[in-house]
Amino acid sequence: MKFSCERDVLLEALAVASRAATGRGGSLPVLSGVRLEVGGDRLYVAGSDLDLTIRVETQVKGSQDGVCVLPARTVTEITRALEAGAVSIESDEDEAHLSSGRYRSSLRALPADDFPRVPALTRGDGGVTEGVVNLDVGDVGQALRQVVRAASSDDARPILTGVLMTAEEGGLRLVATDSYRLAIRDLPGRNVLGEGQQVLVPSKALAELQRLLPSVSEVELAFGDHDATFDLAGVRLTTRLIEGDFPNYRQLIPSSYPNRLVVDKEEIQGALRRVRLLARDATTPVRLALRPDTIELSVVTSDLGQASEEVDSKYEGTEMTVAFNPGYLVDGIEATDGDEVSLETIDALRPAIIRGTGSEEFLYLLMPVRVS
Amino acid sequence: MNAFYASVEVIEDPSLAAKPLIVGGSGDRGVVASCSYEARAYGIHSAMPSAQARRLCPQAVFVHGDHARYSEYSRRIHDVFASFTPLVEGVALDEAYLDVSGARLLFGPGPRIADAVRRRVRDEVGLDSAVGVATTKLIAKLASKAAKPRATLRALDPGPGVVVVEPGAELDFLHPLGVSALPGVGPGTRSRLERFGVITVGDLAAIPLDTLTASLGPSLGRHLHELARAHDDRRVEPERAVKSVGHEETYARDLVDADDLRREVVRLSDAVSARLRSSGLAGRTVTVKVRFHDHATITRSHTGPYPLDTGPELARAASSLLERVDSCSGVRLLGVSVSGLAAGASRQLSLDWVEQGRAAAGPGWAQASRAVDEVRSRFGEGAVGPAALLDERGIRVRRTGDQQWGPSDDTRQGKS
């Protein structure tokens, strides 16, 4: 294998693909590498952790077709450190030679045969979609930003590490929950899945997708029986789907709320930012005392101190105090659209709902913290 | 205290006096928790497998031990300590550091206080003890070891009882000791040090810090470098915060069946959570310890987003850890513990109980667990418990101190 290209072209391809590569010391050493393949003037760079594969395709000056797998971190760091200009890589049986200007290095290659095959999408009889769907990245990016944060990072409950994508009234709905909060975003009119069909996509893959979206204008989606692919200009992200039943999230959402608070988004964000500084860790709750014209936010940490701040508000309902994990509350408020945010509650022990006023497309359900 | 558990047993049953006495599990899998000096003369020591102890001294008397009784004696010993200084840091039931620097005006210099403490523990509780007097915790602890009795088959050397290491004389005392006297030096580190020709603490002190950190790693290297110079700036901390709460149990027969393992996890989790709640604590990190048939021991832990203090939550976390362990070769010991402790006052509620249709019942297990605690405090620990623990004899809940040193003979033979 032999090719040359501009340093920036190679660096971008390596940096994107190696995000799917695993750290060293994993069970399959070859997964700490990136696979480089040259075919004509095309270079394909792929990283994979078996669940997620990112493959970048780019234009280079190829002189000899072939494949080699190089340690992802090392080759990316070398390329990053090079001066701008042409880089060439040439590989033989078990070594790759990288040169640029007066720099030369030889890297021991990882066994290319061990590298997992980039899965081709399987569409069996139960295949979820036929063909592919294009989505506008603006909407998708915003939806991911709103929903992915609510997915769990706890591998003990794999189902909750996924984001549910489901067909809903002719549109696409994204749902994620870590069992403490739940985020739902509707993308009306985006027919990605057949009516009534749903898939569970690992949130890690969607977080990677989110990183890549700003540099493209369109994303192409395709779902197979066990995996999904997202095609962006020159980058293909393939992820295994999570098997299993997502919790029945609909029954979690209460049908009506007796208490409704409306407050300026920036004001409450500022107040939260300040009172939160006296929370020793994420588990110190912030209390909201809900009253007709103002609400009071407060944090008490027994051996550190306490802080409180009042914020003007419109509140209809019973006066009460409800407490939340400050991080989860900030996440929910931050995810809403619009200048005002509403908080609807039943009581201090049941789920509360956060929405941007005037937007029906996003909903954030949050369980309170019980305080004594 | 000298041979604490064994000495307590002798006080309670004087016919055991002057016999080789072993407190611990008498079954095949038991371990020696404590033994009298008569037993030590045969080479028996604590943590030795009981089967080996029995081979060394077939006439040894085994008693199973009584945790509640030792706690009571411990309380009485600590009462004596507290009458000298409020700065008492309990390390074990029978071991404590006393900072007497502020008590010297009242009771005289350190060595005199040491004699007084020993005498009063002897007179008021009936136990023999050994006291080390020094300027740091490290030296005081090592001096107390030097003050203990030593047993041989021919005679029992009662030991000096009190060993005083005067200020300035720390290195003279410390350097002739073997390196394994230092905390942090186990058999592995010792043999690694021996390869450098390091036998005594003095040898260790002569090794440059760089060499030590290169061969032992930065943290252990620096730690030993400090200790070998008798540098120890730890204070006596009267209320050492509890770092973890846990239970473990050795089984008379290896557990293989997944249902049996699951039931034991429920049982241990129930007991651990009850202890957490009784101290007003909850913890985020759940650790499962598994010892396999071949004695290989592993631990697996998981840190969740919220502190737990109820049995079902804890059992769920521990079970999911255990599911990822290949236990088909058989499990001889299982342990469940919780760390990352914090006061359990506030609690993140979970959508799970909403999903399970219990929205009206309030925050699930927290309330149920409080009710369980109240029932148990009135009617005893076996009055209520997880259904999984029910058998024809009632609810097999785990009690503090149960089977601490392995199952005894009778459980091995399946009697009750």
Each residue's pLDDT tens digit, B186-228: 888 888 888 888 899 999 898 888 888 888 888 888 888 888 9
In this predicted structure, what is the pLDDT of residue A83? 94
For residue B277, list chain A residues with Cβ-Cβ distance below 8 A. Answer: none
Q: Given an 8 Å threshold on Cβ–Cβ distance, is B345 in contact with A372? A: yes
Name the B residues in 352-411 with CB < 8 Å from any A CB.
352, 354-355, 357, 359, 362-363, 366
The token pair that represents B208 in the structure block? 């440059």
CB atoms within 10 A of CB B198: 23
In this predicted structure, what is the pLDDT of residue B403? 56
Each residue's pLDDT tens digit, B59-109: 989 888 888 888 889 989 999 998 898 888 888 888 999 999 888 888 889
Q: Given an 8 Å threshold on Cβ–Cβ distance, is B352 in contact with A283? A: no
For residue A321, list chain B residues with Cβ-Cβ distance below 8 A. Answer: none
**Residue B141 exposure: Cα atoms within 13 Å on the Cβ side:** 19
CB–CB of A298/A321 below 8 Å?
Answer: no
Q: Given an 8 Å threshold on Cβ–Cβ distance, is A283 in contact with B307? A: yes
In this predicted structure, what is the pLDDT of residue A26? 67
Q: Domains plus CATH for chain B?
A: 68-164 (3.30.70.270), 176-227 (1.10.150.20), 244-385 (3.30.1490.100)
DSSP-assigned letter for residue B309: -
CA of A247: which chain B residue's CA is closest? B355
A48 touches chain B (CB under 8 A): no
Percent share of chain B, pLDDT over 70: 91
pLDDT value at A126 more than 50:
no
In this predicted structure, what is the pLDDT of residue B237? 81
User: Which neighbouring-strand residues pair with B342?
Assistant: B282
B280 touches chain A (CB under 8 A): no
Q: Which active-site residues of B does the annotation give? A: 95
Query: What is the rounded distance in angstroms from the CA atom of residue B6 to the CA atom of residue B94?
Result: 12
Q: Domains plus CATH for chain A?
A: 2-114 (3.10.150.10), 133-249 (3.10.150.10), 253-366 (3.10.150.10)
For residue B359, list chain A residues with Cβ-Cβ distance below 8 A. Answer: 350
Q: Given an 8 Å threshold on Cβ–Cβ distance, is A367 in contact with B346? A: no
The ipTM assigned to this model is 0.79
CB atoms within 10 A of CB A218: 13
Q: Whole-prediction pTM value?
A: 0.62
Q: What's the rounded mean pLDDT across residues A180-203?
A: 87
For residue A255, list chain B residues with Cβ-Cβ distance below 8 A. Answer: none
Chain A nearest CA to B182, separation (Å): 33
Strands B162-164 and B131-133: parallel
A349 touches chain B (CB under 8 A): yes
Q: Given an 8 Å threshold on Cβ–Cβ distance, is B350 in contact with A325? A: no
CB–CB of A208/A171 below 8 Å?
Answer: no
Out of A248, A325, A369, closest to residue B355 by CB: A248
- Give the 3-state secondary structure of A36-75: EEEECCEEEEEEECCCEEEEEEEECEEEECEEEEEEHHHH
Each residue's pLDDT tens digit, B345-368: 677 888 876 655 444 334 567 778
Query: Based on the number of CB atoms within 10 Å of its own CB, is A241 exposed (0-12), middle (13-18) or buried (19 or more)?
Result: buried
The token pair that represents B214 in the structure block? 């290169």
DSSP-assigned letter for residue B31: B
CB–CB of B107/B116 below 8 Å?
Answer: yes
In B152-296 the beta strands, taken as DSSP E runs, fall at 156-157, 162-164, 244-255, 281-292
In this predicted structure, what is the pLDDT of residue B364? 64
Cβ-proximal residues to B415 (8 Å cutoff; 6+ apart), any chain: none
Query: What is the rounded distance in angstroms from the CA atom of residue B318 to the CA atom of residue A115?
Result: 35
CB–CB of A49/A35 below 8 Å?
Answer: no
Q: Given an 8 Å threshold on Cβ–Cβ distance, is B351 in contact with A282? A: no
Each residue's pLDDT tens digit, B14-68: 998 888 999 988 877 788 888 998 898 898 988 888 889 999 999 989 888 888 8
H or E, element range at A315: strand A314-316
Residues in chain A, overall count? 372
In this predicted structure, what is the pLDDT of residue A128? 47
Chain B nearest CA to A346, separation (Å): 11
Least confident of A40-54, B106-120, B134-148, B246-260: B246-260
CA of B306: which chain A residue's CA is closest? A283
Q: What's the rounded mean pLDDT across residues B376-400?
A: 81
Max Cα separation, chain A? 75
Q: For residue A157, what are the CA distances in angstroms to A161, A162, A179, A372, B354?
A: 7, 10, 10, 29, 17
In this predicted structure, what is the pLDDT of residue A252? 85
CB–CB of A1/A89 below 8 Å?
Answer: yes
